């Protein structure tokens, strides 16, 4: 018999895939009688029983009860999803549905990720997940100033990864669009790439000269930039549709669902998973990730599977979207959906697009 991946024969691989798919669909242990009658095999029932016993000995299957059929182990699920990753596709209609649903939220990455989490949950009937890693604000790479009224302007501070912070500045003196444009040019000319501590008094005086007659805007803007640059941003995790998992028998006990409800307390661990994906780099870092059971190192997900993919802009990870569900989730559908969802976000946040965060606007200056 020809050998397939992981040292299994082609027949053993087919048996294992059939057991996993049947268990995912029905949630019931799979016996040799079902395999004999499913139409995929031409060998005898005795041969199938022997192959299942071998798969159990190798750690791919387990038998919950002596008289029952067999169910996949974590290793069995791992074999299955690895084989799925070799080839999967999304239909054009699925991709367009995702893009259309995201389009209205394209102005702010935080809102896009929140919408993506809800979409992931509704499209799969599992729990949706969106992660936004912490962003450092040591030095901004570009500034924009937008005149909102005769006495207020919006200051936009863009990070190297394309994300942005916005602040509303109010003045006691009338300002014009030309004043805002002059302020933006001055900031971009003088302090791009500088940390807050590098903005000296002589530099500020030179900037005030360049901004005359709206020189009063310089001190307001620099104060705002300094306060924003030193803000701590540890990242965020959005979880939607935990209640959907109540439909699955794996979460019928109080302990399992309580662990999932407490996932918010595991924010740092989830952020670390995304960080590890970023550190992979290259093509490996762009793949859909599947962590089954104990592979994810989170106690709350010990009986679950986590499927996610990072979102990148300018080659840097700015977020991740995914799904949490039972180990017997419909991996083929989930992998395809998560891949399409992440790719759809990547298209929406092209390199020429600003990504202000949803919770950053506040008033500065004189009210």
Burial 147-176 (b: 16+ CB within 10 A, else e): beeeeebbbbbbbebbbbbbbbbbbeeebe
Q: Which domains, ranges and CATH numbers included, belong to the chain? A: 5-73 (1.10.10.10), 92-134+234-353 (3.30.450.40), 142-232 (3.30.390)
Q: Give Cα 346 to chain centroid, integer Å.
A: 11
Answer yes or no: are the C-beta atoms of 102 and 116 closer than 8 Å: yes
Which of 132-136, 182-186, 327-331 has the highest average model confidence (pLDDT)? 182-186
**What's the helix, strand, coil split of the chain in %, to 5?**
50, 20, 30
Give per-residue pLDDT as tens, 316-331.
778 899 999 998 898 9
Q: Tell me how far apart the alpha carbons of residues 326 and 301 are, in angstroms, rounded to a whole number.
A: 9
Q: What is the pTM of this model?
A: 0.66
**9-46 confidence digits (pLDDT tens):** 888 998 999 999 999 988 889 988 888 888 788 888 88
Q: Where are the alpha helices (DSSP H) in 27-137?
A: 32-37, 45-57, 74-85, 92-103, 109-124
- Non-local (6+) Cβ contacts of 307 within 8 A are 288, 289, 290, 291, 322, 323, 325, 329, 331, 334, 335, 338
Segment 184-200 mean pLDDT = 87
């Amino acid at each position: 018999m020809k050998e397939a991946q992981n040292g299994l024969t082609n027949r053993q691989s087919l048996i294992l895939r059939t057991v996993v798919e049947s268990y995912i669909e029905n949630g019931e242990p799979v016996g040799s009688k079902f395999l004999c009658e499913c139409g995929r095999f031409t060998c005898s029932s005795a041969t199938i029983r022997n192959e299942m016993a071998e798969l159990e000995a190798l750690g791919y299957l387990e038998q919950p009860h002596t008289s029952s059929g067999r169910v996949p182990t974590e290793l069995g699920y791992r074999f299955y999803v690895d084989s799925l990753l070799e080839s999967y596709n999304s239909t054009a209609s699925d991709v367009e549905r995702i893009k259309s649903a995201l389009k209205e939220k394209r102005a702010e990455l935080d809102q896009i990720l929140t919408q993506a989490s809800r979409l992931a949950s509704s499209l799969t009937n599992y729990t949706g997940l969106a992660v936004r890693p912490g962003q450092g604000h040591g030095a901004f790479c570009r500034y924009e100033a937008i005149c909102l009224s005769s006495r207020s302007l919006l200051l936009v501070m863009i990070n190297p990864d394309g994300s942005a912070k916005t602040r509303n500045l109010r003045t006691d003196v009338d300002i014009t669009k030309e004043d805002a444009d002059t302020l933006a040019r001055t900031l971009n000319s003088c302090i791009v790439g500088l940390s807050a501590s590098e903005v000296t008094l002589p530099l500020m005086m030179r900037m005030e000269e360049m901004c005359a007659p709206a020189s009063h805007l310089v001190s307001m803007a620099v104060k705002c930039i300094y306060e924003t640059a030193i803000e701590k941003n540890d990242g965020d995790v959005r979880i939607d549709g935990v209640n959907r998992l109540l439909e699955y028998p794996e979460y019928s006990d109080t302990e399992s669902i309580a662990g999932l409800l407490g996932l918010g307390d595991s924010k740092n661990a989830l952020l670390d998973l995304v960080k590890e994906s970023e550190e992979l780099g290259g093509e490996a870092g762009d793949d859909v990730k599947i962590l089954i059971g104990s592979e994810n190192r989170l106690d709350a997900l010990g009986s679950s599977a986590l499927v996610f993919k990072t979102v990148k802009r300018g080659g840097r990870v700015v977020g991740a979207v995914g799904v949490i569900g039972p180990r017997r989730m419909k991996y083929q559908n989930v992998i395809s959906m998560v891949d399409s969802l992440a790719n759809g976000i990547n298209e929406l946040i092209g390199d020429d697009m600003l990504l202000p965060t949803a919770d950053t606007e506040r008033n500065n200056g004189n009210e």
